[in-house]
Structure 1
Amino acid sequence: MAKLLNGRIESNALKHKPTTRAGVMITGGGYQGKTESACEVAAAFEDRWLALHHYLNPDALPGARDLHVPVAYVQTPVTAKPKSTCKAILSFYGAETKNMDLPDLVRQVASSLHDHGTKVLLLDDITRLRMHRADDQDTLDLLRAFMSMHVTLVLIGVNIPASGLQREGRCDTGTGQYIYAPARHAQVHGLEPTQTERRFDLVELDRFRYDTDEQIAAWIAHLAGVENELRLMDASEGMLTDGVMPEYLYQRTGGVVGLLERFMEDGCREAIATGKERLTEELLEGITIDLAGAPGRDAEAGEVPAAPSPRAARTRKRPRNTVLDDRGPAAAQGAG
């Protein structure tokens, strides 16, 4: 994901032709680190871009001193409409939005993106758009039209393929890209003079798995990184990676990095409060991951995953590998 996203952002930022910039869609389950991963890639690009131009906006007009903002992050409104989406983008810049109709808001968005030298626009929780609503369809058309503003549009959401966002697009089997017809708002508001089709690369960020040796090793490596960041007085090497602890943590979190982070935070607070200063299975048994009412999350959009209960973690066991079992002559004859 990081390689594709970084390559797309850098390639688009260095283009000078007045063409529509290809975008990226990042999908996956809730709490799986999509936003954090995308923001890390975008932040690294911003650091490089600012250093390349000596922290000055290369496209700034003479006498203008607009803040140089190569990357903008906006959360999609829960009840997204074209006007509310434009206002959410403009609020990132602190721009004025009062007494503006939609055409004025769209022009103000275009001006803000250009004046601040924005090269990347990240729109989080994009699957809050419901494609059975006319307002949401208009909002998606408007977002596609933003691609003509010479920015890389990065859409982040839960289970994008099932959301209907790609309903009007088709997948190019040769490139793996989704291709969309021209947006209606581009024609209505004159945002794009050409009929260039919009393209998105779809990237899926999945949870950790625990089925093969490689998957288990990747999970343990992640736990080792988490363990290295914990600052408990009685913590020891292998606290999260030795014995049955990796499997137990996987069963409690389902391999979802966001749930693991929440689990570790609550566990550390309990370890400090009780004076144990160490994470053990016994201590973690008393911790319940409760995501109900999580701020800024829309459960109806799939942004809040179900957390396994402690009892489910104790009773669930991995099936025994029977590949090398000797089933006897009877089984061999039956197979023949």
Structure 2
Amino acid sequence: MSDDSPLPGLDLAAGLLEPPPRRDTYAGWQRWRTSRGQFAPAPRLTLAQWRALSPRERSLYDLHRTATHVNLPLQETPMSLKVSRLVNRRIRNNALKTRPSTRAGVMVTGWGYQGKTETVCEVAAAFEDAWLAMHHHLHPHPVGGTRDLHAPVAYAQTPVTAKPKSTCQAILGFFGAETKWLTLPQLIRQVADSLDDHGTKALILDDITRLRMHRADDQDTLDLIRAFMSMNVTLVLVGVDILGSGLLRQGRFDEHTRQWVLPPSQHARVHGLEATQTERRFDLVELDRFRYTTPGQIAAFHDHLAGLEANLRLLKAPPGMLTGGRMPEYLMRRTDGVVGLLERLIEDGCQEAIDSGKETLDEHLLDDVVLSLDDPDRDAQAGEVPAIPGSTPSRTAQPRTRRRNTVFDDHGPKGRTGS
């Protein structure tokens, strides 16, 4: 590449071939936290500047543009701002408490692909940045004879088939702790010790609605999770449709505090973790999709589209490509206001625009983009994969499978007949 090239020093190979960090390990979380927001988008070029590049430079620039479109920055929306404020307030306030009282937790609900996990993780990462800076990146309460590992935030995913042991192992896996030969009481104690020894202030359990309340193991797991609130950490549970999942079946809503109140954990008393019979309180907040009814909702969606458009690198994109004419209504109709679906549509549309040489987005091009959400890391049965507007699943495309026997399912008090 020549010195007078408009793309000096472009070297994407190292950055793009590196696998993304796994946030469910300490090393992966730290790598994500310290590198988030560092992606450098492709420089803006005019069509004439692009044509002046050599074939190799064009190929590299197009690759950089593709990387830009699939790594769009997380935008703040009115819905995510509400969630961020609550989660940040709860984590920060609980972290500053000195009394050994039970910390209120937070439940973040919403449907799939609405940005719940990214919003919560961003808030937690910002808290950890500030907490580490306040303590000069040193553990404020080191434990003698232990490994110097300061983890203000721990992140774990709920196992698809959750049991108390596998849930403990998922949490301990974040710290790299040994779990192979431990019994359940030992695992629970190890979780308590790890959270305390490493100075953990917030524990994020993602995909919490993978728990099915008709299964005894899942009920024990939820009971165990409530016991974690005795460990002086802020418990942040993230899941799809928490209200409809049965997780709050035993809880009641306190009109005065606007919190959900759950009874004390029976499971924790068995293993000696619960010092008091205190009720467990959770703030429940929903991360909703965009709506398109009121002037304020329409303006918020237009602002979001303008933010997306500002980060696109298409060579023939006119001003107002996503916000002008009927395009906002079209995008709302195609995605139902779901942020993840909107980004997927724009991402795939930009690639089609580059491949075809059209270099702009319009309804005709986007009509040919078929949204597909096949993701092996998401549990469709738990609602983690949303329905795509306008798509009708084909009966012939569905493999015939035997229905699950539901005879022994516990459908809760409402489902029982008789006295």
TM over 0.5: yes
Which residue type is aligned with residue 71 of structure 1? V
Choose from 350, 355, 365 the match for 1:273. Answer: 355
| Whole-angstrom distance in 1 between the partners of 2:222 and 2:86 | 23
Residue of structure 1 in register with 2:132 after alignment: 50
Q: How does 1:1-336 map to 2 (within 5 A)?
A: 1-62=83-144, 64-291=146-373, 293-309=374-390
| Whole-angstrom distance in 2 between the partners of 1:118 and 1:237 | 47
RMSD (Å) for aligned C-alpha atoms: 1.3
Give the SS at the match of 1:121: strand
Which residue type is aligned with residue 74 of structure 1? A
> Comparing 109-118 with 164-173, which one deviates more in the overlay?
109-118
Deviation at 1:264, TM superposition (A): 1.2
| Whole-angstrom distance in 2 between the partners of 1:149 and 1:201 | 18
Deviation at 1:310, TM superposition (A): 7.9
Deviation at 1:124, TM superposition (A): 0.7
Contact 1:32 1:207 in 2 (8 A): yes
Deviation at 1:65, TM superposition (A): 4.0
Deviation at 1:233, TM superposition (A): 2.2
Q: Figure out how many residues of one structure are paired with residues of the other and give that number.
A: 310
| Whole-angstrom distance in 1 between the partners of 2:244 and 2:116 | 17
Which residue type is aligned with residue 385 of structure 2? V
| Whole-angstrom distance in 2 between the partners of 1:259 and 1:281 | 16
**Deviation readout 1:7-62 (Å, 9 max, x if unpaired):** 11001000111111100001111111111111111111111001000001111124
Contact 1:110 1:149 in 2 (8 A): yes
Which residue type is aligned with residue 251 of structure 2? G
Which residue type is aligned with residue 308 of structure 1? P
Q: TM-score, normalised by structure 2?
A: 0.72
Q: TM-score, normalised by structure 1?
A: 0.90
Which residue type is aligned with residue 252 of structure 1? R
Which residue type is aligned with residue 318 of structure 2? S
Which residue type is aligned with residue 297 of structure 1? R
| Whole-angstrom distance in 1 between the partners of 2:164 and 2:111 | 26
Deviation at 1:234, TM superposition (A): 2.2
Give the SS at the match of 1:158: coil
Identity %: 69
Residue of structure 1 in register with 2:78 after alignment: none
Which residue type is aligned with residue 225 of structure 1? G
Q: Which runs of 5+ in 2 are unaligned?
A: 1-82, 393-419
Which residue type is aligned with residue 212 of structure 1? T
**Could you say if the C-alpha distance between residues 310 and 230 of structure 1 is closer, same or farther in structure 2, counting changes exceeding 3 Å?**
farther
Deviation at 1:247, TM superposition (A): 0.6
Deviation at 1:274, TM superposition (A): 1.0
| Whole-angstrom distance in 2 between the partners of 1:272 and 1:150 | 52
Residue of structure 1 in register with 2:396 after alignment: none
Deviation at 1:309, TM superposition (A): 3.1
Deviation at 1:235, TM superposition (A): 2.4
| Whole-angstrom distance in 2 between the partners of 1:306 and 1:24 | 26
| Whole-angstrom distance in 2 between the partners of 1:266 and 1:3 | 32
Which residue type is aligned with residue 191 of structure 1? L
Which residue type is aligned with residue 87 of structure 1? Q
Which residue type is aligned with residue 177 of structure 2? A
| Whole-angstrom distance in 2 between the partners of 1:267 and 1:172 | 46
| Whole-angstrom distance in 2 between the partners of 1:306 and 1:70 | 36
| Whole-angstrom distance in 1 between the partners of 2:391 and 2:164 | 44
